[in-house]
Amino acid sequence: RIKMVGLKLEYLYDAKNPSVGRCFVIKDNDAQVGMAIFKESNGIDVYLNYSVAKDIKRMTLSGKDMMCIELLKIHPSYQGKGLGKKLVNQIIEKAKELDCKYMFVRAEPFPDSRMDLEELIEWYTQFGFYRLKRISRTEQLMQLDF
């Protein structure tokens, strides 16, 4: 567990506007230092969003069966302290609680990331994600099955 003075984790979700997704935020006192946004997705969303990947077929799952991590970002001065792991573990916990069957993430390092694409792919594999399809030179679609 991370023990840093002043750090707190917040979970945000607007049930009246679920299309904006769910969010975990890490704050150091009042400053936001990390964020993860994930949302429910249906098969057609995955098909349309990643249609460049020839082996992704139209999936007939709906609602909470599929979730996508839309954003995972840690402030550069807080990277390497385990905060990203904490956020991904929280997302996985919440997805299981919601009876999610599949989680997708498009691994793509930010310019200020401490990792290149291969390191980021390796990082996601520790949570059980596996390579699904290379989207571009800088992006890898990954999947986690529950």
Residue-wise pLDDT tens digits, 28-66: 988 999 999 999 876 556 655 655 444 555 555 555 688
The predicted-structure confidence for 111-122, as pLDDT tens digits, reads as follows 888 899 999 999
Neighbours of 13 (CB within 10 A): 13
The predicted-structure confidence for 66-91, as pLDDT tens digits, reads as follows 889 999 999 999 999 999 999 999 99
What average pLDDT is seen over the chain?
A: 85
| DSSP letter for each residue of 45-111 | HHHHHTTT-TTPPP----GGGEEEEEEEEE-GGGTTSSHHHHHHHHHHHHHHHTT--EEEEEE---T
Whole-model pTM: value is 0.84
The answer, yes or no, to whether residue 18 has pLDDT greater than 90, is no
